[in-house]
Amino acid sequence: MSTSLTEIMRKHGTDKASDHHNYSQYYSALFDPIREEKLNLLEIGIGTMNPNIPSSMIGTPWKYVPGSSLRAWEEYFPNANIYGCDIDKDILFQKGRISTFYVDQTNPDSIREKICETPITFDIIIDDGLHHFPTNWAMLKQIFSKLNPGGIYVIEDILNFDSKILEEDFVRENKGTFDYIKIPNPKNTADNNVLVVRKSVQRDLVIITSAINVPKPERSVFHVQDRFSQTLKTISSVRKHLPNSLIYLVEVSELALDMLSDLREKCDLVLICGKDERTQYYSRIAKSFGEVCMLQIAIEKIPDCVNVIYKLSGRYYLSDDFKVENMRRDKYNFLCTYAEANATNVYQTTFYSFPKTKLEDYKRALGDTIEMMYAHSMDIERALYETIRGEDVNRVEKLGCKGWYSVNGREYEC
């Protein structure tokens, strides 16, 4: 455990501690403080000796063995899971805490399938794959949501750094530090450079409003056990599509203890609000009133670290059509439809989002919504349309959300 990273890297034969790349000292400063932690580390580039594959290790002045850096990381981080990926299928292996898989980092579909669509998120990502900066940057943007808050992403061996990227919206919106560092090395003044990104600990929050145990058949054709399973699907869809988000479940009904403890395990916070006077009173009047009260209770608990707040109705789930990039981080995001019955536009309230900077405005809108629902017997979809200013709203064409109507069991998609 006392062995330094430079010694470990030399022992395993990666070039990260060589005359050409003296990264190990820099990495020690970066990683020593978290060395003992339980981490997931992903390195792109296992180290092929196939001369026909670009960025191969052919020409290394010692007998290089593919997977050298992965073995070094495994020894250096005693409690980490080490993942490696490469375009060369012949060098994939599994050993100890190391697992490897195929990916072609020039192909967004391959990246989506092999990295984005898996449930694993990472604390450290190191791109030592194809050394072509536009490819590395495109990949960083595609898999950045898989980096945990506080996580570190490094692109190694940068030859032609495009500093314009540091002014892109992506950098501004993904709060964190983006530093291009030229590591001093008299023997290599060309590509001994790294881009180091530290993702801020800011997180998004998904509030799930839920009523699992409702009287059957008046309000739902589904039995409590079905509704519970549907809610678990809601939660797992959020973990999959918004992997770094906190999940708050606001539950209005009374639940069996085993269900409750399962939900507590899967969510960051479960708020049981069936006994809250406001909810009790309003829920008796109509479902919409109960929903507003549940939201009012949940937003009292929003922590400082939250950036964007999503609201999702329990038993609906984010489908593979959900695209986080369709949801602007600086505006309300609603799907707006025309309701013929009311001859007016309404906001779809199954799923929507807004930035925390609009929280005070949202609280006001919820208060006004209650008033309008009372005074004009409106439902929440219409009342929110009336109380949230149109110019603050990004109108989303498709939310990527599926589920079932409780009252008749029909499938629903928006």
Interaction site with ligand SAM (CB under 6 A): 14-16, 43, 45-48, 53-57, 68-69, 86-88, 103-106, 128-130
Nearer to ligand SAM, 59 or 119 (CB): 59
Q: Residues with Cβ < 8 Å from 349, sequence gap 6 or more?
A: 291, 311, 313, 380, 381, 384
Cβ(27)–Cβ(41) under 8 Å?
A: no
Q: Residues with Cβ < 8 Å from 111, sequence gap 6 or more?
A: 103, 104, 105, 139, 142, 143
Shortest Å distance, C-beta 45 to ligand SAM = 3
Rg value, the chain, Cα: 25
Nearer to ligand SAM, 10 or 278 (CB): 10
User: What number of other Cβ atoms are within 10 A of residue 36's Cβ?
Assistant: 12
Q: Looking up tokens 């608990």, which residue turns up?
A: 301
Nearer to ligand SAM, 14 or 234 (CB): 14
Cβ(19)–Cβ(188) under 8 Å?
A: yes
Side-chain half-sphere CA neighbours of 204 within 13 A: 25
Shortest Å distance, C-beta 97 to ligand SAM = 17
Shortest Å distance, C-beta 89 to ligand SAM = 10
Shortest Å distance, C-beta 177 to ligand SAM = 24
- Distance CA(81)–CA(98), nearest Å, equals 6
Q: Apex CA 373: angle with CA 224 and CA 402, to 5°? A: 40
Shortest Å distance, C-beta 157 to ligand SAM = 7
Nearer to ligand SAM, 75 or 276 (CB): 75
Nearer to ligand SAM, 86 or 204 (CB): 86
Nearer to ligand SAM, 48 or 213 (CB): 48
Nearer to ligand SAM, 41 or 57 (CB): 57
Q: Looking up tokens 């950045």, which residue turns up?
A: 144
Shortest Å distance, C-beta 70 to ligand SAM = 7
Shortest Å distance, C-beta 26 to ligand SAM = 14
Nearer to ligand SAM, 114 or 363 (CB): 114
Shortest Å distance, C-beta 131 to ligand SAM = 7
Please give the structure tokens belonging to residue 9.
Answer: 């890297």
Cβ(356)–Cβ(395) under 8 Å?
A: no
What DSSP line would sit under 229-269, residue for residue? Answer: HHHHHHHHHHHHHSTT-EEEEEE-S---HHHHHHHHHHSSE
* Torsional class of 13: left (φ above 0), alpha (ψ -120 to 50), beta (otherwise): left
Shortest Å distance, C-beta 126 to ligand SAM = 8
* Torsional class of 332: left (φ above 0), alpha (ψ -120 to 50), beta (otherwise): beta
Nearer to ligand SAM, 45 or 314 (CB): 45
